[in-house]
Amino acid sequence: MQGSSFSSSDVAHLTDRRPSVTPERLVAQLVPPPTFADVSFDTYRPDPAEPTQAAAVEACRRFCAQALERRAGKKKLFGKREVLPGVGIYLDGGFGVGKTHLLASSYYEVGGDDVKRAFATFGELTQLAGVFGFVECIDLLADYALVCIDEFELDDPGNTTLISRLLSALVEKGVSVAATSNTLPEQLGEGRFAAQDFLREINTLAAMFTTVRIEGPDYRHRGLPPAPEPLSDDEVAQRAADVPGATLDDFDALCAHLATMHPSRYLTLIEGVSEVFLTGVHPLDDQNVALRLVSLTDRLYDAGIPVVASGAKLDTVFSDEMLAGGFRKKYLRATSRLLALTAAGQTGRAIT
């Protein structure tokens, strides 16, 4: 391309990357993503038309104060303290109402040099337990004041039992838990597996939390145009060649590559990437492929990495059949985030 110091052959490919994640890296990743690195309760802007948003801020502030009180414990004789069980808050609401903003704000509000806390997606938390082992994971987090879990979801019976036992043990040890989700605690697992067979675990989880409902429209779509018209393959390749730090991949090749690694590695996969360019995007018919794309989309959104694509519009990737199934809310969240990512890729607008 004339005037460019890059050629298409210079562009890197995600499919060439083989990331690995050490246990130490998993622990180091237990912080809010870059797009929420500077948030606070004061920077949250409640919609005046949605009073539940301002109420959620106050509920989170109270929760943080309680979490610190519980971690400090109750004074006993001779200066000793009795550990008090942790508390839980569950932020339930639609897409783009600021749940993750409030979750990250809670993380920072409880923070301090001598206060341990963790921030993880639900998938990262289950991966942490898998890598360290159940008992070791409890030992690792037992002296934390707060564990924040973004997009709490139960996709299979094993995760239901694991997370129920893990959080129960942590709460008993004085760890408070804050979570976000698009599904009420007592409805976790519905439509995904035989949830009625795991009602005890689900009810145990529900009993840990005070649910705070947040209403409102998706802020990511305020003022945004519809999904942009896709570029041609050649246009995508040419634009990728002009962006230092960009990657260029065929959609099917990337989807196949994602299948070769655990989703916990996706964050490392996109590390240092400035913009993702995709060619040949098309609707998916395999749910396993679709769920891996959801995980990658979440990591791209958290890192604020724009996406530019050719082929089908990115808001058509998940079929009507998929949107009617048990993972509907996951696919809708991913679509919402893909719209924001592609709008940023087309206009240069920052992802917020």
DSSP per-residue codes, 28-80: HT-S--GGGTT--GGG----TT-HHHHHHHHHHHHHHHHHHHHHH-EE-GGG-
Q: Is 92 a member of any domain? A: yes
Q: Is 122 a member of any domain? A: yes
207 and 225 together in one domain: no
54 and 191 together in one domain: yes
What's the structural domain count of the chain?
A: 2
232 and 143 together in one domain: no
Q: What is the pLDDT of residues 127-157, one digit of tens each?
A: 888 888 889 999 999 999 999 988 777 655 6
102 and 192 together in one domain: yes
Cα–chain-centroid distance for residue 33? 9
Residue where one domain finishes, among candidates 216, 245, 271: 216
245 and 306 together in one domain: yes
* pLDDT value for 131: 81
82 and 205 together in one domain: yes
276 and 135 together in one domain: no
340 and 232 together in one domain: yes
> Within 10 A of 18 (CB to CB), how many other CB atoms are there?
11
Range of the domain at 296: 8-20+220-347
64 and 169 together in one domain: yes
60 and 159 together in one domain: yes
Residue where one domain finishes, among candidates 197, 216, 235: 216
Q: Is 288 a member of any domain? A: yes
77 and 154 together in one domain: yes
Q: What share of the chain is helix, strand, coil (3-state, %, to 5)?
A: 50, 15, 35
Q: Is 42 a member of any domain? A: no
Residue where one domain finishes, among candidates 164, 182, 216: 216
Helices (H) and strands (E) in the chain, counts: 13, 10
Q: Is 2 a member of any domain? A: no
Kindly give the confidence (pLDDT) of every residue in the chain, 352 residues in length, as a single tens digit, with 9 standing for 90 and above: 334 444 455 799 999 999 887 888 888 889 998 889 899 999 999 989 999 999 999 999 999 999 999 998 766 555 566 778 899 998 888 777 889 999 999 999 998 778 999 999 887 888 888 888 889 999 999 999 999 988 777 655 667 678 888 988 999 999 999 988 765 444 544 444 344 444 455 566 677 788 888 988 766 555 555 666 788 999 999 999 999 999 999 999 999 999 999 887 898 999 999 999 999 999 998 989 999 999 899 899 988 899 999 999 888 999 888 888 777 778 888 888 888 888 876 655 445 4
191 and 299 together in one domain: no
Q: Is 297 a member of any domain? A: yes
Q: What angle do CA 329, 271, 265 make, to 5 degrees?
A: 60
Q: Is 352 a member of any domain? A: no
Helix or strand run (H / E) with residue 186: none
* pLDDT value for 74: 63
